[in-house]
Amino acid sequence: MGVSGGEEGSHNGPSLMPGGSFEAFKYIEDILLKVAAQVPDSGPCVTYVGKGGSGNFVKMIHNGIAYGDMQLIAEAYDVLKLVGKLSNEDLHNAFAEWNKGELRSFLIEITADIFGIKDGKGDGYLVHKVLDKTGMKGTCKWTVQQAAELSVGMNLIRAKSMEKGWDLKLGELARIWKGGCIIRAIFLDRIKKAYDRNPNLANLLVDPEFAKEIIDRQSAWRRIVCLAINSGISTSGMSLSLAYFDTLQKGKITG
């Protein structure tokens, strides 16, 4: 069973992704429903994922998506800080404002918070004392390896489900990630609705609502990528996702 929640999840309930035998799941379903994070508008953050190792696989991709989110947030910070010359107070205000709208999420929230924290043992802000280095437990690397073979993001889950015959419900996965886990975000509502409209959706980018928004916003996306390149700032997440989008637009790939 995949479990995501960290320290907060241990107190308030995690997101649970049980796989394996459905009969075995039914034996412990009542317990899992009570243990899982509870989201007022969508219920307990647990669902039977599917057969075999599907629960652990979905948890792995969840982690890969989280790393992608963090990469994009870090790139946004770099552009705002190095090009926009925003102060820590400005950055705090910008991310806090974003967290009031469609980007409201755990990761945006804690990013806003960190910019306001002073170093309790010295001068300045804590964020400037944190080593610019990170590690991983392996799930990100495994996600990249699977993506190289199959696809990316939710499409990767869909492709693996088809390969293994798991019959995974992508809308349900988006629902159970709304609480407890690191990628909990209001945006997941829109992903769930897209898969509710079309459970066999080949790619979120071909959902009519998602497609319209991406097309409407692509000019700003391109300007930011060009600005970063011209300023010598690495924005690999923004740049490569734009390249993926452009390739998809040209009909060269299908998922």
**Domain layout of the chain by residue ranges:** 2-249
**What angle is formed at CA 187 by the lines to CA 36 and CA 19, rounded to 5 degrees?**
35
Q: What is the pLDDT of residues 60-89, one digit of tens each?
A: 999 999 999 999 999 999 999 999 999 999
Among the ranges given (18-32, 136-150, 173-187, 189-203), the one the predictor scored with the smallest mean pLDDT: 136-150
Among the ranges given (21-30, 42-51, 242-251), the one the predictor scored with the smallest mean pLDDT: 242-251
Query: For residue 253, is pLDDT > 70?
Result: no
The pLDDT value given to residue 251: 66
Domain 2-249: which CATH number of 3.40.50.720, 1.10.1040.10, 1.10.3720.10, 1.10.490.10: 1.10.1040.10
